[in-house]
Structure 1
Amino acid sequence: MKTTILKGFGATALIFALIAFKSNTVEKKKIDVNESKVEWTGEKLTGSHNGTIQFKDGYLLMDGEKITGGKFTIDMSTITVTDLSGEGKQKLEGHLNSDDFFGVNNYDTATLEIKNAAKKGNVYGITGDLTIKGKTNPITFDLKMEGDSATTTLTVDRTKYGIRYGSGSFFDNLGDNTIYDEFKLDVSLKF
C-alpha cells in the first residue's frame, strides 16, 4: 500500500516537474521601443511621402531559438512625416491623423499579433493578424533574425482597414490625386 502511494506521488511529482520545465522554455523577448523603428512609405500617382511611427510595446515569444508567437503595438499618435517640413509637414500629419486615414482620436493604437512562424534558416515565414482602425486582417511576411535584432518589410492594403481616401479602387476621376492602396512599412526590431 505504501509503495503504491509513493509511486503515485512520484508520478505526480514527475508530471508537475515536466510541465514546469516545458513552460519555462518559452521566453518573452521584449523589444527596446527606443531602438526599434518603423519607417513608412505611401505612394500616390505623382510621387510618394515617407515618415516614421513608434512602437508602444512589443515582444516575441521564443522557445529556445524558435519564434512561437508575439505581439506588437504601434502608437498611432506618433505618425511623423520626414520628407516635408513646415506647413506641408503639419498639414499631411494632421490629415494622416484624421478620420480620412487612421482616425487617431478613436484608434490610438494598431497591433500585429503573430499566430505562426516557420523557420527557414535565420528567416521566419510569419502569419499573423494586423489590426488598424479596429479592423483585423490576416498578414504574411518574412522576418529576418540576427542575434538581438530582426528586420522585415510589410506591404499593407489600407482599403482592407476602411482607409479609402483618394483610392482609385473606390473613386473615379481622381486623376493626379490618386493615392495607391498599398503602403510599405520597413521594420527594425532591437531586443
Structure 2
Amino acid sequence: MKKGVFSMALALVFGVATATEPITEEKKEVKTDASTITWKAYKVTGSHTGTVNLKSGTLIFDGDKLTGGEFVADMTSLVSTDMSGEGKGKLEGHLKSDDFFGVEKHPTSKLVFTKVKATGKNAYEVTGDLTIKGITKPVTFDVSVYGSKATANVKIDRTKYDVKYGSGSFFENLGDKTIYDEFDLVVDLEF
C-alpha cells in the first residue's frame, strides 16, 4: 500500500513538473516590405496577375519547427501587374468594387493558422481560417521554410467568400466572359 501511494505521489509530482514546463514558442515578425503576395486569376480567354500587400504577419516557431502564423493583407493595395493604361485602371477598380472584394467595406483580409503538420524537412501542411469580405472559411496549403524565408502556394475558391461575379457556377450563358472560381496566391515571406 505504501509503495502504491509513493508511486502515485511521484507520478503526480513529475506529471505536474512536466506539464508546467514553459513552451519555447517564438513569434517572428514578417518583413512586410520584403514579402510579396502575387495573385493569378483565370478566365476562359486567359488570365490576369497582380499583387496585394501584406499589412502585417507573424510566424510562430517552436525551435526551428513552424507551429503557427497570422497574417493581414491590405486589400486596398490590390493591383494588376499584367495590364497598363485605362484597362489596368478599369480592372483594378472592378476588383475593388462590391462585384469582387468590396475593399471599401472590407479593407483587409486575414489568415490565421489553426493546424500545422510537418510533412518533411522544412515542409508543412497548414490549415488556416481565411477571412475575405467578412466571411471565414478553412483553407489548406503547403508551406516551405528555409532560414528566414517561407513560401506558400494557395488555391482559393472565391465563391466561398461571396465573390461570384462572372462565375459559371452561378450564372448561365456567360460564354467567353466566364471567370473561373479558383484563383492562386503565391506567397513569399521574409522574417
Q: Same fold (TM over 0.5)?
A: yes
**Alignment partner, residue 122 of structure 2:** 122
What letter matches 1:117 in structure 2? Answer: V
What letter matches 1:56 in structure 2? Answer: K
Q: For the residues of structure 1 that align with 2:117 and 2:48, how far apart are their CA atoms? A: 33
Q: For the residues of structure 2 that align with 1:128 and 1:84, how far apart are their CA atoms? A: 32
The within-5 A match list for 1:67-146 is 67-119=66-118, 120-146=120-146
Q: For the residues of structure 2 that align with 1:27 and 1:157, how far apart are their CA atoms? A: 32
Residue 70 (structure 1) shift? 1.2
Q: Does 1:150 align with 2:150?
A: yes
Q: For the residues of structure 2 that align with 1:148 and 1:67, how far apart are their CA atoms? A: 12
Q: Does 1:185 align with 2:185?
A: yes
Cα deviation 1:1-51 (Å, max 9, x = unaligned): xxxxxxxxxx9xx96xx84x614x111111000000000000100010000
What letter matches 1:168 in structure 2? Answer: G
- Structure 1 residue runs of 5 or longer lacking an equivalent are 1-10
Q: For the residues of structure 2 that align with 1:66 and 1:123, how far apart are their CA atoms? A: 10
**Corresponding pairs, count:** 176
How high is the TM-score relative to the length of structure 2?
0.88
What letter matches 1:45 in structure 2? Answer: V
Residue 158 (structure 1) shift? 0.1
What letter matches 2:166 in structure 1? Answer: G
**Alignment partner, residue 27 of structure 1:** 26
SS of residue matched to 1:89: helix
What letter matches 1:53 in structure 2? Answer: V
Cα deviation 1:100-150 (Å, max 9, x = unaligned): 000000000001100111112110111111110000111111100100001
What letter matches 1:138 in structure 2? Answer: P
Q: For the residues of structure 2 that align with 1:125 and 1:49, how far apart are their CA atoms? A: 27
What letter matches 1:68 in structure 2? Answer: T
SS of residue matched to 1:171: coil
Q: For the residues of structure 1 that align with 2:142 and 2:185, how far apart are their CA atoms? A: 13
Q: For the residues of structure 1 that align with 2:173 and 2:67, how far apart are their CA atoms? A: 46
Q: For the residues of structure 1 that align with 2:125 and 2:82, how far apart are their CA atoms? A: 32
Residue 65 (structure 1) shift? 1.1
Residue 166 (structure 1) shift? 0.1
Structure 1 runs of 4+ aligned residues shifted over 3 Å read none
Q: Does 1:63 align with 2:38?
A: no
SS of residue matched to 1:62: strand
Cα deviation 1:68-102 (Å, max 9, x = unaligned): 21100000000010100010000000000000000
Q: For the residues of structure 2 that align with 1:84 and 1:69, how far apart are their CA atoms? A: 36
Q: For the residues of structure 1 that align with 2:159 and 2:48, how far apart are their CA atoms? A: 18
